[in-house]
Amino acid sequence: MNHIDDERKRWEQQTLNPVVGKYPEREPDFVTPSSIPVPEVALPKDQDYMEKLGFPGEYPFTRGVQPNMYRGKFWTMRQYAGYATAQESNERYRYLLEQGQTGLSVAFDLPTQIGYDSDDPIAAGEVGKVGVAISSIEDMELLFHEIPLDKVSTSMTINAPAAILLAMYVAVAKKQGVETSKLRGTIQNDILKEYVARGTYIFPPKPSMRLITDSFQYCQNNIPRWNTISISGYHIREAGSTAVQEVAFTLANAIAYVETAMKAGLKVDDFAPQLSFFFACHNDFLEEIAKFRAARRLWATIMRDRFGAQSTNSMRLRFHTQTGGSTLTAQQPENNIVRTTIQALAAVLGGTQSLHTNSMDEALWLPTEKSVRIALRTQQIIAHESGVADTVDPLAGSYMVEYLTDEIEQRARQYIQQIDEMGGALSAIENGFVQREIQDSAYSFQKALEGHHHVLVGVNDYQIEESIDMEALKIDPSIERGQIERLREFKKKRDNERVQALLGELNSAARSEENLVPLMITCVEQKVTLGEICGVLRDVWGEYQPPVWA
DSSP 383-395: HHHSSGGGSBSTT
- Kindly state whether residue 62 falls inside one of the protein's structural domains: no
What pLDDT does residue 22 have?
40
CB-based contact 268:304 (threshold 8 Å): no
CB-based contact 369:376 (threshold 8 Å): no
Instruction: With cut-offs at 50, 70 and 90, classify the pLDDT of residue 27.
Output: low
Q: What is the mean pLDDT of residues 358-377?
A: 91
Over the stretch 453-475, which tens digit does the pLDDT of each residue have?
889 999 999 999 988 776 666 77
What pLDDT does residue 23 have?
41
Q: Using alpha carbons only, what angle is made at residue 435 by residues 430 and 441, rounded to the nearest 5 degrees? A: 160
CB-based contact 401:290 (threshold 8 Å): yes
The DSSP secondary structure of 60-123, one letter per residue, reads T-TT-SSSSGGGT-PPEEEEEE--SSHHHHHHHHHHHHHTT--EEEEEB-HHHHTT--TTSGGG
Over the stretch 150-177, which tens digit does the pLDDT of each residue have?
999 999 999 999 999 999 999 999 999 9
Q: Which residues pair with 80 in a beta bridge?
A: 105
Give dist(CA 274, CA 386) in Å, integer.
31
Give dist(CA 418, CA 250) in Å, integer.
14
508-519: burial string, b at 16+ Cβ within 10 Å, e else: ebbeeeebbbbb
SS3 string, 138-171, reads HHHHHHCCCCCCCCCEEEEECCCCHHHHHHHHHH
SS3 string, 192-218, reads HHHHHHHCCCCCCHHHHHHHHHHHHHH
What pLDDT does residue 54 have?
84
What pLDDT does residue 278 have?
95
Instruction: With cut-offs at 50, 70 and 90, classify the pLDDT of residue 26.
Output: low
- Kindly state whether residue 178 falls inside one of the protein's structural domains: yes
What pLDDT does residue 36 have?
64
- Kindly state whether residue 324 falls inside one of the protein's structural domains: yes
Q: What is the mean pLDDT of residues 385-398?
A: 94
What pLDDT does residue 376 have?
93
With a cut of 60, say whether residue 58 has pLDDT above it: yes
What pLDDT does residue 387 have?
94
- Kindly state whether residue 475 falls inside one of the protein's structural domains: no
What pLDDT does residue 300 have?
97
Give dist(CA 69, CA 22) in Å, integer.
9
Quote the domain boundaries for residue 377.
147-386+399-446
- Kindly state whether residue 483 falls inside one of the protein's structural domains: no
Over the stretch 121-150, which tens digit does the pLDDT of each residue have?
999 999 998 899 999 999 999 999 999 999
Over the stretch 66-123, which tens digit does the pLDDT of each residue have?
999 998 899 989 877 777 789 989 998 998 888 888 788 899 999 999 999 999 999 9
Total tally of structural domains belonging to the chain: 1
Instruction: With cut-offs at 50, 70 and 90, classify the pLDDT of residue 373.
Output: very high
What mean pLDDT value characterizes the chain? 91
What pLDDT does residue 19 have?
39
CB-based contact 352:328 (threshold 8 Å): no
DSSP tally for the chain: helices H, then strands E = 22, 9
What pLDDT does residue 546 have?
87
Q: Is 237 helix (H, G, I), strand (E, B) or coil?
A: helix
The CATH number for 266's domain is 3.20.20.240
Q: Which residues pair with 107 in a beta bridge?
A: 157
- Kindly state whether residue 523 falls inside one of the protein's structural domains: no
Over the stretch 198-240, which tens digit does the pLDDT of each residue have?
899 999 999 999 999 999 999 999 999 999 999 999 999 999 9
Peptide bond preceding 121 in cis form (omega within 30 of 0): no
Amino acid identity of residue 277, one-letter, is F
Nearby residues of 92 by Cβ (< 8 Å), 6 or more positions away: 81, 83, 369, 372
Q: What is the mean pLDDT of residues 185-206?
A: 94
Amino acid identity of residue 383, one-letter, is A
Q: What is the mean pLDDT of residues 273-298?
A: 95
Q: What is the mean pLDDT of residues 359-365?
A: 90
Give dist(CA 420, CA 474) in Å, integer.
47
- Kindly state whether residue 210 falls inside one of the protein's structural domains: yes
What pairing do the DSSP bridges indicate for beta strands 319-323 and 275-281?
Answer: parallel
Instruction: With cut-offs at 50, 70 and 90, classify the pLDDT of residue 20.
Output: very low
Quick one: which H or E segment has residue 19?
none
With a cut of 60, say whether residue 21 has pLDDT above it: no
Measure Cα distances from 4 to 49, 291, 398 in Å: 10, 26, 19
- Kindly state whether residue 259 falls inside one of the protein's structural domains: yes
